[in-house]
Amino acid sequence: MEEKEKPRLSRLTAILTQLQSSRIVTATQLAERHKVSVRTIYRDIRALEKSGIPIVTEEGKGYSIMEGYRLPPVLFTDDEANALITVEQLVIRSKDQSFSKNVSSAVEKIKSVLRYSQKVNADLLTERVFFDGNQYEEKSSNNLMQIQSSIIHFQVLKMVYYSSVKKRTTRNIEPFAIYSTSGNFLLIAFCRLRNDFRVFRIDYIESLVRQNEKFTPHNMTIQKYFEEYIKK
């Protein structure tokens, strides 16, 4: 293989991985990611199509892989494998049981496709990487995964919330976003009781019940929320 072919082969592999991991990707996004022209991306997509990859072109939107099509697992570099182990150890220290359990399960599946030498290194890193902040690994919530599901499915949740001032309230909420600060997960949601967006600490949620009702997505972004609501 000629030297000039190597960057393109590497780029084609990376584009294919990106297409498999996203619902839809634009030519502009791919061009910016790989620091090439949009015209070059067009040629790369044609090359992948000619090799038998069923790429779907959505006019005016971008590219995706035909639903149901799966390729064998990609190989991880040593640095990528090490990064996964480090992320796992960071998540294990989180206070939400549902989150740490599911991430550990996902990483275990990823480990199954690692090379033997990478598995040895992964075991070593697991013993040598430690994040402070939740020293005793106590789990003070078990709601994060349910909240994530409700965010992507626009599903109303009935919540019993026990605030920092020990006030217990029951309210229906429309989950919007999650962020983390100082080791705590925070939920941004539209609260029907207050008829406005509110922030709730997830470890203060006493119970959540998914309702048989979906809400209309709000005309809101994370950036807009912080610009408008943090000021209040």
Better-predicted residue by pLDDT, 114 or 133:
114
**Range list of β-strands (E), the chain:** 55-58, 62-65, 155-162, 168-181, 184-191, 196-201, 205-214
**What does pTM read for this prediction?**
0.62
| β-strand partners of 188 | 177, 199
In 3D space, the residue among 60, 73, 59, 58 whose CA is nearest the CA of residue 16 turns out to be 73
pLDDT in tens, 126-139: 777 766 665 555 66
pLDDT in tens, 58-92: 888 899 988 877 766 666 788 888 888 888 887 87
Please give the CATH topology (third level) of the domain spanning 144-229.
SH3 type barrels. (2.30.30)
Give residue 95's pLDDT: 77
In 3D space, the residue among 182, 185, 159, 163 whose CA is nearest the CA of residue 172 turns out to be 159
If DSSP states are collapsed to H, E and C, what string results for 26-57? Answer: CHHHHHHHHCCCHHHHHHHHHHHHHCCCCEEE
- Amino acid identity for residue 178 in this structure: I
Query: Does the structure show a pLDDT above 80 at 230?
Result: no
Q: What is the mean pLDDT of residues 24-34?
A: 92
Better-predicted residue by pLDDT, 8 or 155:
155
Give residue 199's pLDDT: 93
Q: Residue 156 — very low, low, confident or very high, per pLDDT cuts 50/70/90?
A: very high
The Cα–Cα gap between 204 and 168 comes to 10
Q: Where in the chain is the domain with CATH 2.30.30?
A: 144-229
As assigned by CATH, the class of the 5-65 domain is mainly alpha
CB contact at 8 A, 129 and 89: yes
Listed range (81-95, 170-184, 198-212) with the worst mean pLDDT: 81-95
Query: Does the structure show a pLDDT above 50 at 5?
Result: no
pLDDT in tens, 185-206: 899 999 999 999 999 999 999 9
Q: Where in the chain is the domain with CATH 1.10.10.10?
A: 5-65
pLDDT above 70: percentage of residues in the chain: 89
